[in-house]
């Protein structure tokens, strides 16, 4: 039986979302397949790794028991021994317990997890893993870089400007002036690397803009400011696959143009902030599946989503967010999430893919990509050293 | 092995024993059979927990007191043996402590037997005798509903539809033996127009006894299939018992489902046969069924009945036609029949459709007979779906027919051509697999070691476009 390590938590503002993704959408279905031994690897907020069966229970986290557990437990370490092995002290006479891992299923959102850091580590270890690779993850998680990649691939993007945290701290007034000269209100101010709508503000004047920049810079060292798309219809499209991406269903979050989803709305209030009518209950109960847009726009948005997935070099799974101007019917790229919260399993369910099938397919894609990479030649012999 | 042994000494062990007694309805034979079959007592209560009724609480108290006294006696003997050198004290004391789980698993049956013989049985006999007079004196139409399957569906259909124009009452839930008939009789006012009494056959002679006690004026026989064959020597014997109600009625006002193939040898000319083609002179002109329910058009001469029922499956056409026809005979108007039919909805766990993650699930987990399997697999075949899934553990109490019946179950499943078959692993799984193979099943087969793991996590297995038919679920005493 193959052993899969599901790595979740992490030093990210999306730490809690990651726990839900791992336990509900990944570990449970993987175990139900009865094909894999599943190991839960939790990365605490301080970056320490833990590996234990008890970490598969959501009550451990929802009740706050996790703090006691972390105090009592020995941290786990990882050995890269021609693959990957988890190691921890068992607690019985200091004996070491170890488990060789065959495949990793990353379930970390945001910094150090979804941004390519973890994927880089796994690439170095030469172990197959689920989801986008290092470069696609890194590009996708940088909203500025992502927009530039989309633009270079002739995919429309809304007008934007980017600033470093240092710029904003050194000359905040200058940044506001630059923005007001180049872009028109209303604007969105976002941390460049965070997902789950954390630290995002919608601003309508200079005062709000200054505040929004401050908030975004609190979370990230790079901030993007972008123009709002008029007559907005937001849509999102989960996609899976490697060379032949398969889209799920275009989903429409239930917002009005004056609203947008922040973290609380998406994950804590069940999406009740938007003024739209109650729609189909998704994972967070806030969207319509399929999106209620004209068929021609639906088809175009779906094709745009797949084109973006390919342009970014995504593999395994990702979710592409797009913005549609309802009047001009123009589809804009918004962002790519290399690891959709909860894998967007609710959407895949509507597309006819069960949770168990979804994780099995993703494991299959991970193995396929790994085999392809293994077949590549990465070294060659030279006489360079003989010169010395 | 160690885990199994330790399970006997867990604090929850007495509760498990009482749970086993309660689940087997305090019948000593089935309880002992289950007890002897059980290896790990920590893994018994899967589907439900002990219902803390008065009887259960008393038994639990008796067990705990008895076990505590035995352990204390054991400890005392060990003490005496070690400190005061009482000969054999320590060994006998240790033996007392070690054997208590085995001893009390059997000793607990004694108060039950004594209680039954001295108190419950005489009281039950008095109640049954009193109910006989109540039923005999009752002036209403008394409809006995008998058969190996479909009794509850028929009873509820009759109650709902006849209830549109008449004062109707029926035996509750699956309370279908003499003692429950007696309790039902005690609650009657005597002014009811119609009584519907379900007959739950369990052993030869049961149905004749029920008929003698409840004095039916009408009898409906819903079907015959292998069931309770641990008690009946053969299907023929089960059929003879079920049809013994017709002797009481001397063949008059007997209505028999002609859709049941096994029933044919028992048919007589005086019986009224109903089936998917019609009932009591009413002909089924049009019929359509899907997951939203069934639409039926019946015609008799110039009269027409058009109605919708929430029940699903083409095998229900005959039942619906019969109930509508009988309602007309008992004086209901077409409007009343149509209104009554509109109120019929699927019964819990009996061909009950619901949606899950966009998938259509048909919950037929209370269905436990071959004809039910035939109906369920036919439904799976006739409905369109992107992916078809069939789930079953098989059937219980099939006696000597066990292998043949499950072989046929496998073949029936294969005819529905499901994409995925999920079998709950047990003693009959191999027979079903053999039937699947012979039936040319080409889909995926999944054998589940832990049924509850599958049922509780069904939402993880299904998605939009799936049609799942789940038939039967073995209770803990069979699993």
pLDDT of residue B479: 64
Residues of A in contact with B386 (CB under 8 A): 352
pLDDT of residue A195: 62
Pairwise CA distance, residues A234 & A27, whole Å: 30
Write the residue in B358, B386, B387 that is nearest to A349 by C-beta. B358
pLDDT-derived band at A48, boundaries 50, 70, 90? very high
Residues of A in contact with B358 (CB under 8 A): 349-350, 352
Looking at the fold, whether A247 and A355 belong to one and the same domain comes out as: yes
**Residue A117 falls within a domain, yes or no?**
yes
Of A260 and B317, the structure prediction assigns the larger pLDDT to: B317
Q: What is the CATH number for A201?
A: 3.30.1490.20
Looking at the fold, whether A88 and A152 belong to one and the same domain comes out as: no
Looking at the fold, whether A189 and A335 belong to one and the same domain comes out as: no
Looking at the fold, whether A177 and A294 belong to one and the same domain comes out as: no
Task: Determine whether the interchain pair A354/B465 forms a contact, defined as Cβ–Cβ distance below 8 Å.
Answer: no
Domain count, chain A: 3
CB of B355 less than 8 A from some CB of A? no
Looking at the fold, whether A221 and A237 belong to one and the same domain comes out as: no
Looking at the fold, whether A33 and A76 belong to one and the same domain comes out as: yes
Pairing of strands B359-364, B352-356: antiparallel
Contacts of A340 (CB under 8 A, 6+ apart): A238, A317, A318, A319
B window 385-414, beta carbon within 8 A of A: 386-387
Buried-exposed string A316-329: b where 16+ CB fall within 10 A, e elsewhere:
bbbbbbbbbbeeee
Give yes or no for residue A81 having a pLDDT over 70: yes
Q: How is residue B229 written in tokens?
A: 């064959």
Looking at the fold, whether A121 and A172 belong to one and the same domain comes out as: no
pLDDT-derived band at A111, boundaries 50, 70, 90? confident
**Residue A384 falls within a domain, yes or no?**
no
Give yes or no for residue A46 having a pLDDT over 50: yes
CB of B462 less than 8 A from some CB of A? yes
A285: closest CA of chain B, how far (Å) = 13
pLDDT digits (tens, 9 = 90+) for A66-79: 999 999 888 999 99
Write the residue in A28, A349, A357 that is nearest to B457 by C-beta. A28
Q: What is the CATH number for A266?
A: 3.30.470.20
Q: How is residue B266 written in tokens?
A: 């028992």
Give yes or no for residue A279 having a pLDDT over 50: no
pLDDT-derived band at A255, boundaries 50, 70, 90? low
Write the residue in A346, A348, A354 that is nearest to B461 by C-beta. A354
Of B244 and A383, the structure prediction assigns the larger pLDDT to: B244
**Residue A110 falls within a domain, yes or no?**
yes
Of A97 and B217, the structure prediction assigns the larger pLDDT to: B217
Is it true that the peptide bond before A290 is cis, omega within 30 degrees of 0?
yes
pLDDT-derived band at A285, boundaries 50, 70, 90? low
Task: Determine whether the interchain pair A351/B463 forms a contact, defined as Cβ–Cβ distance below 8 Å.
Answer: yes
pLDDT of residue A333: 96
Residues of A in contact with B464 (CB under 8 A): 349-352
Residues with pLDDT less than 50, chain B: none
**Residue A165 falls within a domain, yes or no?**
yes
pLDDT of residue A196: 58
Looking at the fold, whether A56 and A6 belong to one and the same domain comes out as: yes
A35: closest CA of chain B, how far (Å) = 12
Looking at the fold, whether A9 and A103 belong to one and the same domain comes out as: yes
B window 437-456, beta carbon within 8 A of A: 449, 453-454
What domains lie within chain B, and their CATH numbers? Answer: 2-107 (no CATH), 138-342 (3.40.1190.10), 352-471 (3.90.190.20)
A173, A193, A227 - which closes a domain: A227
Give yes or no for residue A109 having a pLDDT over 60: yes
Write the residue in B358, B387, B457 that is nearest to A32 by C-beta. B457
**Residue A274 falls within a domain, yes or no?**
yes
Contacts of A295 (CB under 8 A, 6+ apart): none
**Residue A380 falls within a domain, yes or no?**
no
Looking at the fold, whether A69 and A169 belong to one and the same domain comes out as: no
SS3 state at A36:
strand
Percentage of chain B lying above the pLDDT 70 cut: 99
Task: Determine whether the interchain pair A355/B465 forms a contact, defined as Cβ–Cβ distance below 8 Å.
Answer: no
Rounded to an integer, the average pLDDT of A216-228 is 92
Per the structure, the complete domain to which residue A12 belongs is given by 2-131
Looking at the fold, whether A238 and A353 belong to one and the same domain comes out as: yes
Burial of A163 per CB tally in 10 Å (0-12, 13-18, 19+): buried
Task: Determine whether the interchain pair A348/B463 forms a contact, defined as Cβ–Cβ distance below 8 Å.
Answer: yes
pLDDT digits (tens, 9 = 90+) for A330-355: 999 999 999 998 999 999 999 999 99
Looking at the fold, whether A215 and A274 belong to one and the same domain comes out as: no
Give yes or no for residue A263 having a pLDDT over 80: no
pLDDT of residue A237: 97
Q: Which of B154, B146, B367, B125 is nearest to B241 (CA)?
A: B146
pLDDT of residue A258: 41
**ipTM value for the complex:** 0.82
Q: What is the CATH number for A106?
A: 3.40.50.20
pLDDT digits (tens, 9 = 90+) for A153-186: 999 999 999 999 998 888 878 889 999 999 999 9
**Residue A337 falls within a domain, yes or no?**
yes
A364: closest CA of chain B, how far (Å) = 17
The model carries a pTM of: 0.79
pLDDT-derived band at A274, boundaries 50, 70, 90? very low
pLDDT-derived band at A277, boundaries 50, 70, 90? very low
A174, A202, A227 - which closes a domain: A227
A202, A227, A252 - which closes a domain: A227
Pairwise CA distance, residues A314 & A308, whole Å: 9
Burial of B191 per CB tally in 10 Å (0-12, 13-18, 19+): exposed
């Amino acid at each position: 039986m193959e052993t899969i390590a599901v790595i979740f938590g992490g030093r990210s503002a999306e730490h809690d979302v990651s726990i839900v993704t791992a336990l509900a959408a990944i570990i449970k279905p993987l175990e139900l397949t009865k094909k894999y031994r599943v190991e839960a690897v939790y990365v605490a907020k301080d970056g320490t790794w833990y590996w234990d069966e008890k970490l598969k229970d959501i009550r451990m986290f929802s009740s706050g028991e996790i703090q006691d557990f972390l105090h009592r437990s020995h941290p786990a370490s990882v050995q890269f021994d021609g693959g990957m092995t988890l190691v921890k002290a068992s607690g019985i006479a200091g004996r070491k317990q170890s488990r060789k891992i065959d495949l990793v299923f990353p379930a970390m959102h945001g910094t150090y997890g979804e941004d390519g850091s973890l994927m880089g580590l796994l690439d170095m270890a030469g172990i197959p893993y689920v989801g986008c690779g290092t470069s696609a993850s890194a590009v996708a998680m940088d909203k500025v870089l992502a927009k530039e990649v989309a633009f270079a691939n002739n995919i429309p993007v809304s007008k934007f400007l980017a600033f470093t945290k240092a710029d904003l701290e050194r000359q905040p007034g200058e940044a506001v002036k630059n923005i007001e000269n180049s872009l028109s209100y209303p604007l969105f101010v976002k941390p460049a690397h965070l997902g789950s709508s954390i630290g995002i503000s919608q601003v309508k004047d200079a005062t709000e803009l200054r505040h929004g920049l401050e908030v975004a810079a609190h979370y990230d060292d790079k901030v993007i400011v972008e123009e709002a798309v008029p007559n907005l219809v937001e849509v999102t499209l989960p996609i899976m696959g490697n060379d032949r991406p398969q889209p799920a269903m275009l989903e429409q979050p239930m917002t009005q143009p004056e609203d947008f989803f922040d973290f609380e709305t998406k994950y804590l209030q069940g999406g009740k902030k938007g003024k739209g009518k109650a729609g189909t209950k998704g994972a967070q109960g806030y969207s319509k599946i399929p999106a209620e847009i004209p068929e021609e726009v639906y088809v175009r948005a779906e094709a745009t989503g797949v084109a973006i997935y390919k342009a970014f070099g995504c593999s395994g799974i990702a979710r592409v967010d797009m913005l549609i101007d309802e009047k001009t019917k123009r589809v804009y790229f918004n962002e790519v999430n290399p690891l959709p919260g909860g894998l967007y399993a609710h959407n895949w369910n509507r597309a006819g893919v069960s949770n168990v099938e979804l994780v099995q397919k993703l494991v299959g894609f991970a193995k396929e990509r790994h085999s392809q990479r293994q077949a590549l030649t990465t070294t060659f012999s030279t006489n360079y050293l003989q010169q010395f | 092995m160690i885990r199994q042994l330790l399970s006997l000494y867990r604090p929850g062990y007495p509760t498990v024993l009482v749970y086993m007694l309660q689940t087997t309805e305090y019948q000593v034979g089935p309880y002992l059979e289950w007890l002897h079959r059980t290896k790990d007592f920590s893994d018994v209560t899967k589907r439900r927990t002990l219902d803390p009724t008065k009887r259960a609480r008393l038994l639990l108290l008796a067990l705990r007191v008895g076990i505590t006294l035995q352990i204390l006696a054991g400890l005392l003997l060990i003490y005496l043996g070690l400190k005061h050198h009482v000969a054999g004290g320590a060994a006998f004391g240790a033996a007392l402590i070690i054997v208590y789980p085995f001893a009390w698993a059997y000793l607990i049956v004694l108060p039950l037997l004594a209680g039954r013989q001295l108190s419950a049985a005489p009281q039950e006999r008095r109640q049954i005798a009193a109910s006989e007079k109540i039923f005999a004196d009752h002036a209403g139409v008394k409809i006995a509903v008998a058969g190996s399957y479909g009794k509850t569906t028929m009873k509820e259909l009759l109650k709902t539809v006849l209830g549109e124009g008449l004062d109707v009452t029926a035996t509750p839930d699956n309370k279908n033996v003499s003692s429950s008939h007696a309790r039902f009789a005690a609650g009657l006012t005597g002014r009811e127009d119609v009584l519907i009494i379900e007959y739950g056959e369990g052993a030869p002679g049961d149905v004749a006894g029920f008929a003698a006690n409840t004095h039916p004026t009408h009898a409906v026989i819903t079907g015959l299939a292998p069931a309770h064959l641990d008690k009946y020597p053969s299907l023929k014997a089960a059929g003879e018992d079920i049809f013994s109600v017709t002797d009481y009625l001397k063949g008059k006002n007997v209505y028999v489902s002609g859709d049941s193939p096994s029933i044919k040898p028992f048919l007589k000319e005086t019986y009224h046969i109903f089936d998917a083609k019609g009932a009591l002179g009413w002909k089924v002109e049009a019929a359509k069924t899907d997951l939203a329910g069934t639409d039926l058009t019946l015609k008799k001469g110039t009269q027409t009945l058009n109605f919708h029922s929430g029940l699903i499956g083409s095998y229900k056409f005959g039942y619906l036609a019969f109930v509508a026809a009988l309602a007309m005979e008992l004086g209901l108007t077409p409007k009343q029949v149509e209104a009554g039919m509109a109120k019929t909805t699927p019964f819990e766990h009996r061909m009950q459709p619901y949606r899950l993650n966009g998938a259509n699930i048909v919950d037929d987990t209370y269905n436990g007979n071959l004809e039910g399997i035939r109906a369920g697999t036919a439904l799976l075949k006739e409905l369109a779906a992107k992916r078809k899934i069939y789930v079953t553990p098989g059937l219980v109490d099939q006696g000597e027919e066990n292998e043949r019946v499950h072989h046929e179950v496998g073949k029936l499943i294969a005819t529905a051509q499901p994409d995925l078959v999920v079998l709950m692993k047990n003693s009959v799984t191999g027979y079903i697999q053999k039937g699947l193979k012979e039936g040319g099943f080409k889909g995926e087969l999944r054998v589940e070691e832990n049924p509850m793991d599958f049922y509780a996590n069904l939402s993880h297995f299904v998605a939009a476009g799936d049609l799942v038919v789940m038939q039967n679920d073995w209770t803990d005493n069979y699993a």
